[in-house]
C-alpha cells in the first residue's frame, strides 16, 4: 500500500524501506508534516512506531553543493553527540542519493520555539528571563568552542591554515562577482566597503585556536526551551566548519539589535527590553573562555562585511529580475546598515 502523499515531497515508501534496513522502528510512516524553516531545505516531521523523527534533505532543485552540505551537517551533528552543545540528536544518515534522490539524515525532534516568531508568556513577561536568553546564546557558542574537533573526528572538517587571511579576499571576490547581474549599481552603493576591507586587512589577528564554527549563529538558528531561558538546540548547521570559533561571537554581535542598528525583521525579537547589550555578551564570553578576545571588534566587523556581501547577492539578483525586488530592496537596506555599523566600530563614522 502506498503511503506517499502528493503534498509531501519525499518518497515515504523508499524512506520506510531504508529505515527497515537501519532497524529504525517498524510499521507505516504516519503524521508526516512539513516544517517551516529559514532555508530552502526540506524538513519533514513524521512518526513511525512509537517514535517521532525529523528528516532533513536538500531542496528538490539541488544546488551544486547540496548533497555535500547535507553530508557535512550530518557529520557535525554526529560528532557533537555526548557534548554539552545543545543540538538536534542525529538518528541516522544516508550519504548516497539513490534512496530519495539526495543525501539526507534523520534527527530527533526539538521541543522548543524560535524567538523571532514570538515569545511565549513566560519569556515575554519577564525581562530577567530575556536577559538569560541572551546569555544562553553565548553559552552555546562557548560550549561549541570547547569541543576538541580532532577528538570527535573532525580533524579534516576545515582548512585552518590561512583561515583568517582568506576571509576578506574571498568575500571581496564574491562581491565583485555580482557585476554579472545587469542593473546592479555596484559596490559604490555600499558605504565604506573599501575602508572596511582595508581595516580588516590591516588589523587581522595573527593567531587563533582552531575549533568548530556554526557559521551562521543568530536568533533565527536557535530554538529556546519553553520552560526556561535556556536553549533547546542550535539548528541549521549547513555552514559549519573548523576555523576560528570567535567568528560565531562576531556574527552574534553583528546581528544583535541595538537602538541605532536594529536587527533585520526576520531576526527581530519583541519585547527586546532585558536582553544583554553587546558589551555584556562579550563579557559573558570572556568569563567562560581562555581565548584572546582583544581583537573581538575585528570579528564583529568581519561579520558585518561578510553578511552584508551575502545579502547584497539577493539585491543584485533582484536588480536583474532574478529575485523579488521587494526582498532585494529590503536586504540591500540591511546591507547598508551592516556597513554603517562596521564603520562605526572602526571609528569611521
Query: What pTM did the predictor assign?
Result: 0.93
Q: How is the chain split into domains, by residue range?
A: 12-107, 115-345
Q: How far is CA 25 from the centre of its chain?
A: 31
Distance in angstroms (rounded) separating the CA atoms of residues 16 and 10: 11
pLDDT of residue 348: 79
Predicted local confidence at residue 131, as pLDDT: 98
pLDDT at 39: 55
* Domain pair 12-107 / 115-345, same fold: no
**What is the C-alpha to C-alpha distance for residues 180 and 317, in angstroms, rounded to an integer?**
9
Give the residue ranges of the chain where pLDDT is below 50. 1-4
- Give pLDDT, residue 60: 87
44-58 b/e (C-beta count within 10 Å ≥ 16 → b): bebbbeeeebbbbbb
Name residue 52's beta-bridge partners: 47
- The pLDDT, as a whole number, for residue 36 is 74
At 6 the pLDDT is: 52
44 SS3 class: strand
Assign a CATH topology to domain 12-107: Phosphorylase Kinase; domain 1 (3.30.200)
Considering only the C-alpha atoms of the chain, give the largest distance between any 2 of them, rounded to a whole number of Å: 67
Tell me if 241 sits within 8 A of 297, measured CB to CB: no
CATH of domain 115-345: 3.90.1200.10
Query: In this predicted structure, what is the pLDDT of residue 200?
Result: 97
Amino acid at each position: 500500500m502506498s503511503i506517499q502523499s502528493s503534498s509531501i515531497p519525499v518518497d515515504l515508501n523508499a524512506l520506510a524501506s531504508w529505515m527497515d534496513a537501519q532497524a529504525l522502528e517498524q510499521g507505516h510512516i504516519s503524521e508526516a508534516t512539513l516544517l517551516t524553516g529559514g532555508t530552502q531545505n526540506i524538513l519533514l516531521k513524521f512518526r513511525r512506531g512509537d517514535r517521532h523523527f525529523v528528516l532533513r534533505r536538500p531542496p528538490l532543485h539541488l544546488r551544486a553543493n547540496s548533497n555535500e552540505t547535507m553530508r557535512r551537517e550530518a557529520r557535525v551533528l554526529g560528532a557533537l553527540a555526548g557534548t554539552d552543545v545543545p543540538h538536534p540528536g542525529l538518528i541516522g544518515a544516508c550519504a548516497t542519493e539513490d534512496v530519495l534522490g539526495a543525501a539526507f539524515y534523520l534527527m530527533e525532534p526539538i521541543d522548543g520555539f524560535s524567538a523571532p516568531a514570538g515569545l511565549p508568556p513566560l519569556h515575554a513577561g519577564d525581562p530577567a528571563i530575556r536577559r538569560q536568553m541572551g546569555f544562553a546564546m553565548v553559552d552555546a557558542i562557548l560550549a561549541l568552542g570547547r569541543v576538541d574537533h580532532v577528538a570527535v573526528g573532525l580533524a579534516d572538517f576545515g582548512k585552518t591554515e590561512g583561515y583568517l587571511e582568506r576571509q576578506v579576499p574571498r568575500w571581496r571576490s564574491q562581491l565583485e562577482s555580482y557585476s554579472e547581474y545587469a542593473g546592479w549599481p555596484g559596490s559604490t552603493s555600499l558605504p565604506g566597503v573599501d575602508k572596511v576591507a582595508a581595516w580588516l586587512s590591516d588589523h587581522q589577528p595573527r593567531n587563533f585556536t582552531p575549533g568548530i564554527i556554526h557559521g551562521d549563529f543568530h536568533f533565527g538558528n536557535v530554538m529556546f526551551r519553553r520552560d526556561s531561558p535556556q536553549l533547546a538546540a542550535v539548528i541549521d548547521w549547513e555552514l559549519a566548519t573548523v576555523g576560528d570559533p570567535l567568528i560565531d561571537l562576531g556574527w552574534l554581535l553583528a546581528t544583535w539589535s541595538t537602538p541605532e542598528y536594529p536587527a533585520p525583521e526576520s531576526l527581530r525579537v519583541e519585547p527586546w527590553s532585558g536582553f544583554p547589550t553587546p558589551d555584556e555578551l562579550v563579557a559573558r564570553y570572556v568569563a567562560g573562555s581562555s581565548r584572546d578576545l582583544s581583537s573581538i571588534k575585528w570579528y564583529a566587523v568581519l561579520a558585518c562585511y561578510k553578511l552584508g556581501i551575502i545579502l547584497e547577492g539577493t539585491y543584485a539578483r533582484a536588480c536583474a529580475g532574478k529575485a523579488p525586488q521587494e526582498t532585494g530592496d529590503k536586504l540591500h537596506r540591511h546591507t547598508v546598515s551592516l556597513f554603517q555599523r562596521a564603520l562605526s566600530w572602526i571609528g569611521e563614522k
